[in-house]
């Protein structure tokens, strides 16, 4: 079960082309996601965090690289594994943590929880936990944007497991025939829950399948290289804004944690796990930043410490936020 071959990541090899403040912002955003996920893991282990959680340690570069290419009024759709997408799109640590604690101050007023984080005012549809469920929704939103004659685009996040869903075909096909402004972002982390991609598809090169099946541009990119993701997403967004969408991106990445907190992840072979851990997107980007003279170990560590403190402060607040009452039972719901 070797990971599929990746395209060469030319943009990543010359980060000097980007402004230093952008590069550092990308780094900070990835670290914020990692620290958030690690912090939440311990809150869960302590027994203070309710429910189960689906985390994205190791996949930070996909969310950050794609969302950095979007405008504030562009939209994303997300999945049950949405913490990273939310932080990348600009939701605050506090509104997310409050939501995870079920508090009324959360981004969905405590009624969504971990699997449904989002904030329409910040361009994120609350996470859709049904696998592939966000794909037709994204196509529909893109159609609305087109009919409203705006240049807004939708980035639709889903995993490799969603590709085998009927909703995937319906959404991608409709977007393709109508040239809708959607960037379909497939985070291929090799496993649909515990099932390896090779067990559910004969051709595991998803981008190639999409390109030949739907006649749209489909790129396969190293999803653990944030600049490669960013560069590809930028060109995909530009193409969609110009009315030549949709674009499909297959971002090859890996989950360095279980499918959920209850999953000890025994199905990931040790050597595969270690090989991907060596390709940790944050550590790789640190090497890039240092080699370009943009940062050093002390500054990077200072960023991590600051973000960790921010998280701890937010957690201390979140655990004391008010919970919904019976009066809130019938508000914000449709049925």
Partner 1 sequence: MRLEIKMPDAATTESEIRIVRWIVQPGQKVARGAPLLEIESDKAAMEVESVASGVLGEVRFQAGESVSVGDVIAVLEVDGDAPADVAAEPTSATPAKAAATRSPVTAKPAVRPATGGAGMFARNRAAVEAAQAAVAGIPLSLAQRTTAQRLQASKQTIPHFYLQTSFNAAAIMARRQAVETQPVTWDAFFVLAVAKAIRRFDRFRCRLDGERLVPAGTDAIGVAVGTEDELFVIPVHAPAGKTVADISDEIRRGVERLRGGDQEIRRMQPALMTVTNLGMCNVERFVPIINPPEAAILGAGKVRPTPVALASGELGVQHRGTLTLSVDHRIASGRYAAAFLEAIVTELEVME
Which residues here bind partner 1, judged by CB under 8 A?
Answer: 38, 41-42, 44-48, 50-52, 102, 261-264, 266, 312-313, 315-316, 319-320, 322-326, 328-329
Tell me the C-alpha distance between 123 and 120, whole Å: 5
Tokens representing 257? 């944690």
Q: Is 276 exposed, middle or buried (0-12, 13-18, 19+ CB in 10 A)?
A: buried
**β-pairing verdict for 191-192 and 182-188:** unpaired
Shortest gap between Cβ of 317 and partner 1 (angstroms)?
Answer: 9
> Which letter, b or e, does each residue of 8-39 get, where b requires 16 or more Cβ atoms within 10 Å of its Cβ?
ebebbeebeebeeeebbebbbbbbbbbbbbeb
Q: Which is nearer to partner 1, 152 or 255 (CB)?
A: 255
Q: Which is nearer to partner 1, 271 or 312 (CB)?
A: 312
Shortest gap between Cβ of 323 and partner 1 (angstroms)?
Answer: 4
Residue with tokens 């893109």: 142
Shortest gap between Cβ of 1 and partner 1 (angstroms)?
Answer: 12
Q: Which is nearer to partner 1, 44 or 145 (CB)?
A: 44
CA–CA–CA angle 76, 82, 88 (5° rounding): 60
Tell me the C-alpha distance between 56 and 81, whole Å: 7
> Which letter, b or e, does each residue of 287-300 get, where b requires 16 or more Cβ atoms within 10 Å of its Cβ?
ebbeeeebbeeeeb
Q: Which is nearer to partner 1, 19 or 266 (CB)?
A: 266
Shortest gap between Cβ of 45 and partner 1 (angstroms)?
Answer: 5
Q: Which is nearer to partner 1, 25 or 329 (CB)?
A: 329
Q: Which is nearer to partner 1, 48 or 244 (CB)?
A: 48
Shortest gap between Cβ of 114 and partner 1 (angstroms)?
Answer: 10
Contact of 318 with 98, CB cutoff 8 Å: yes
The alpha carbon of residue 80 and the mean position of all alpha carbons in its chain are separated, in whole angstroms, by 10
Residue with tokens 């595969």: 272
Q: Which is nearer to partner 1, 229 or 314 (CB)?
A: 314
**β-pairing verdict for 195-196 and 191-192:** antiparallel
Q: Which is nearer to partner 1, 11 or 110 (CB)?
A: 110
Shortest gap between Cβ of 71 and partner 1 (angstroms)?
Answer: 35
Phi then psi for 119, rounded to 5 degrees?
-160, 110
135 SS3 class: helix
Shortest gap between Cβ of 265 and partner 1 (angstroms)?
Answer: 9
CA–CA–CA angle 29, 34, 40 (5° rounding): 125
Shortest gap between Cβ of 329 and partner 1 (angstroms)?
Answer: 7
């Amino acid at each position: 079960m070797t990971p599929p071959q990746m395209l060469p990541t030319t943009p990543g090899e010359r980060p000097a082309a980007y402004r230093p403040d952008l590069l550092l912002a990308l780094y900070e955003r990835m670290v914020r996601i990692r620290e958030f996920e690690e912090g939440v893991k311990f809150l869960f282990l302590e027994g203070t965090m309710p429910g189960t959680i689906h985390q994205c340690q190791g996949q930070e570069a996909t969310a950050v690289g794609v969302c950095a290419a979007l405008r504030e009024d562009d939209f994303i759709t997300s999945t049950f594994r949405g913490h990273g997408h939310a932080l990348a799109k600009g939701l605050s640590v506090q509104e997310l943590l409050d939501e995870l604690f079920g508090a009324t101050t959360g981004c969905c007023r405590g009624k969504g929880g971990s699997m449904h984080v989002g904030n329409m005012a910040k361009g994120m549809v609350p996470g859709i936990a049904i696998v592939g469920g966000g794909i037709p929704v994204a196509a529909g939103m893109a159609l609305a944007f087109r009919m409203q004659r705006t240049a807004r685009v939708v980035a639709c996040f889903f995993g490799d497991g969603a590709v085998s869903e009927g909703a995937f075909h319906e959404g991608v096909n409709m977007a393709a025939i109508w040239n809708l402004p959607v960037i379909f972002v497939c985070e291929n982390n090799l496993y649909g829950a515990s099932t390896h991609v090779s067990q559910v598809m004969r051709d595991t090169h998803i981008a190639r399948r999409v390109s030949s099946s739907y006649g749209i541009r489909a790129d396969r990119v190293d999803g653990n290289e944030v600049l490669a993701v960013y560069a590809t997403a930028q060109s995909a967004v530009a193409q969609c804004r110009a009315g030549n969408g949709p674009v499909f991106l297959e971002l090859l990445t890996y989950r360095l944690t279980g499918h959920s907190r209850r999953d000890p992840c025994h199905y990931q072979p040790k050597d595969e796990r270690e090989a991907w851990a060596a390709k940790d997107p944050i550590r790789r980007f640190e090497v890039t930043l240092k080699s370009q003279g943009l940062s050093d170990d002390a500054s990077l560590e200072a960023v991590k410490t600051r973000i960790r403190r921010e998280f701890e402060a937010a957690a201390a607040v979140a655990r004391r936020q008010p919970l919904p009452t019976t009066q809130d039972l019938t508000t914000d719901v449709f049925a």
